[in-house]
Amino acid sequence: MDFLILLVILVAFVIWLFKQIKEEPLKNQSEDKESLSLRQDYYRNVYLKSDAWRRKRYVVLRRDNWRCVYCGAKATQVHHTRYAKINIGKEPIDWLVSVCKPCHDKKHS
């Protein structure tokens, strides 16, 4: 009889544990989406309007001689080839290239 009670408790625990494991990724995905949204908002509305970004942008455009690295036209924008997921604004200059608007639009479409 004691064995049966222990077995029922063990089964109930295993079922509870699987439910916890199954629900945990959903919580993390929700938090990740919220975190991503906050990072994107900060990136677009704060960082890209900062003096630090303007300086970095100027360095990249000057490095590439104000020419689009993809087609050679006059570059007016800077494209991130990679993003620093956690440290916005800490991306190395090597991750940035000068681009014209049409090529930049193609990269993001």
Where exactly are the structural domains of the chain?
A: 1-45, 51-109
pLDDT at 51: 93
d(CA 31, CA 54) in angstroms, rounded, equals: 31
Cα-Cα-Cα-Cα torsion 59, 57, 98, 95, nearest 10 degrees, comes to: 90
pLDDT at 28: 54
pLDDT at 87: 72
pLDDT at 7: 74
**pLDDT tens digits, the chain, 109 residues: what are they?**
677 777 777 777 777 766 666 655 555 555 577 887 888 888 889 999 999 999 999 999 999 999 999 999 999 999 999 877 667 788 889 999 999 999 999 998 8
pLDDT at 88: 77
pLDDT at 61: 97
